[in-house]
Amino acid sequence: QLQLVESGGGLVQPGGSLRLSCTVSGGTLEHYSIGWVRQAPGKEREVVSCIDTTAESTYYTDSVKGRFTISRDNAKNTVWLQMTSLKPEDTAVYSCAEVGGTVVESRCGSWTTNLGPGTQVTVPS
């Protein structure tokens, strides 16, 4: 089974940047669409961004459009989430996940599964 592990989280001031990494093992990344999801305390899990197997299609939730960029390198078994202009409301645990279904600009497939343990991103107010 595919195993996903996130890294790169931390404490950053408002307006700052972070780059999260999702390293995949136990399978071939090129066969999988991957998404980033986040969950803040007391809030529902939210799909932030997704990328299809060839990086031709990406999805972003409205609140991060223009600030976050998802990318992948199948040869390195890694998916990244570059986050800029960070805001306090971006504070959450960020996890990467397998995406089932088709990633298009308006939708991140049909479901997410097999989430990694997550990495904490904190943007103080």
Distance of CA 112 to the CA centre of its chain: 11
Q: What is the pLDDT of residues 71-110, one digit of tens each?
A: 999 999 999 999 999 999 999 999 999 999 999 999 999 9
Q: What is the pLDDT of residues 55-65, one digit of tens each?
A: 999 999 999 99
**Tokens standing for residue 18:** 């972070």
Give me the torsion for CA of 66, 113, 91, 105, rounded to 10°.
Answer: 10
Q: What is the pLDDT of residues 20-74, one digit of tens each?
A: 999 999 999 999 999 999 999 999 999 999 999 999 999 999 999 999 999 999 9
Spatial neighbors of 73 by CB under 8 A, at least 6 apart, are none
Q: Is 46 exposed, middle or buried (0-12, 13-18, 19+ CB in 10 A)?
A: middle
